[in-house]
Structure 1
Amino acid sequence: MLTHVIAPTRDFTQISNVLVWDDDLSDTAFRLLVRALALGPAKARTTTVTALAAGLSGGRISTDRARRQLGRAGLLHSTRRRGTDGRVRTESLLSNVPLTTDEARRVFDAHPEIVGRGTAGRRPEAGKRTRGAPTARASGTVPPGETPEVNTSPLPTPVPVPRSVPAPAPAPPAVPCGPTGRAQLAEAEQVLQGLRRVDQRLTLGADEARKLAPLAAEWLARGVDRAALRTALTSGLPEPVGSSAALVRWRLEHKMPAPVAESAGPAALPACDGCDRAFRPVGAERRCGGCRAGAAPRERAAQLDEGASRRVDWRTLVARVGRAVDETLPAAPACTR
């Protein structure tokens, strides 16, 4: 391997060969150290180690590992000090030779002041006392030699802002106060308190269940049973459930079924033709079952009498057949001699 080295005359950094061949330092640690040593004294006082590592590859994890390696090698030391701007900052010391803690402290003590960002040459004024009267004028006074200007512009007329009247909250459905209404309220409250057994996210307190009971009782009054009400409140819950009481109220109000229409009552029953009593007909019947049962024997006897009157004996039938045959056969010719 051949090497060709030309000593630079400007813009170079001196680094020890011990650090070049130190296997305990990673590439990121070595580059971080070289970058710090390449800065001038004034620029180094206003630059942080984090700013130096901004352009290195590997990210924050590699940078933190490089800082720990430099600290173990004695090449990096840090301390917290208050700068001239009054802020507490962390100042780091990077060296091209290993330093002990005492040696690093002596270097920090040799440079007591930390120049803050944008505050070079300025010292904080807090804590200093001066003699004599205060120089700051009181609030509302006019400096000597100045005449206060009189504001003659008219005051703006306040524009009344219309108040938006909030819409009244819908009143809960009225539940009858009788025994049936109280029973529906109690049953509805039991259904609401039992929702937590289906889904823990629908756990309601006693006061919440009592306030929502009139809405649930209206469901029961409209013909919805307990199982259907429980299914309507627990099926298809969103993720996550923010407020169980608000969710149950919204479903009770917006999913309530339509009220059951009142029936016009049963139709009037026809009267029996035999006894004039009302009966429920089957088909086109005009008599009740009792009248039909009583008239059945008489109708059967009449049918039998009618059949007997129409019955013909065998002699009459033979005579009728003979006459029919004579009518169909041609007459025989007369005999001549």
Structure 2
Amino acid sequence: MLCHAISPSYGYVKASHDIVRHSKLNSDAKILIAYVQGLPEAWAAKPLGEHAKKLGMKGRAYQKAKGQLKAHGFVHEWRRQDSAGLWVTDQLMSNVPLTDREARRIHDKNAESSQVGPSDHYPTVGQPRTRFVGGHLPEGEEREKNSSHPPTEEPKVADETAEAEAEVVEPEPTDPQVIEAERVLLSLRHADRQLRLGAREARRLAVTAAEWLRRGVDSAELRLALTRGLPENGVKFPFGFLGKRLDMMMPSPVCAEEPAPVRDAVREFIACEAQQEGDEHVFRPRGDETVCGPCGREAAWKAHAVKWEPPPLDDDYVKPEPLPWRERIAALQAADSAAE
């Protein structure tokens, strides 16, 4: 409820000038006072926030303007309970600053004038009736032992079934792949709210999703495979949708890699038997050889190489003297001219 406290006409003009020149009020607070004070009395029951909305004030601007008006005595508020037991807030706005005592006096005066007295109609409408409240025992209180008609107990089949279902708790997984797969399935709700799973649903699907991790798929690839390419009409049943996608898109198992060949044990150094001259040298054999590689190749080349020998000469053979260089050049030129 909003009440207006307007001073006399001559004071109202002076108060308007004081509000405009007020240095502690912003423009929104000044506009709000000027607008509310110009409204008819029929609109006094509307809250101050509705008038602020009509002026186009947002929530933050309205709260700031209202805080300034309350701090300087232009707006006062009281909370009370109405006849129905509901809490309501009474608001009082004035075009001059009022103290709490002055505002309370105006509020009480307005409240007294608005109260409605009791009706003079006699007798009271309606016929007297017997009491029907207070005859029931509180829930959970034991009945007297001498009750002649004890209540019949209702069958507890449904309650026992519900308790049995509540007692069935799936054990916590111990496999690290299952734990990681369950964590990925529960995190799908952050990627798309359509893929929200319950804790029991995620644990049931984690066994199948863990097989993806065992086949070389990491957590990021599993999350991407389950969230991309969702149907355009949305996912109505995320448990069934994810279970079917996990089964249909299961990657092929990883082929076992061939074991690396086992290297032979490292042999000890032995002396080369082909060394005849010079210092003795050693080498590390690969098998049962006793000669090092360089010496073995040199021996094989000597065994298969053909040594060139000049042909035999006659007894009367005389080695000719070499020609001087001028004669050799002349012979070459003669040979070239003859070839042309």
Ranked by relative contact order (alpha carbons within 8 Å, sequence separation 6 or more), the top structure is: 2
TM-score by length of structure 1 reads 0.39
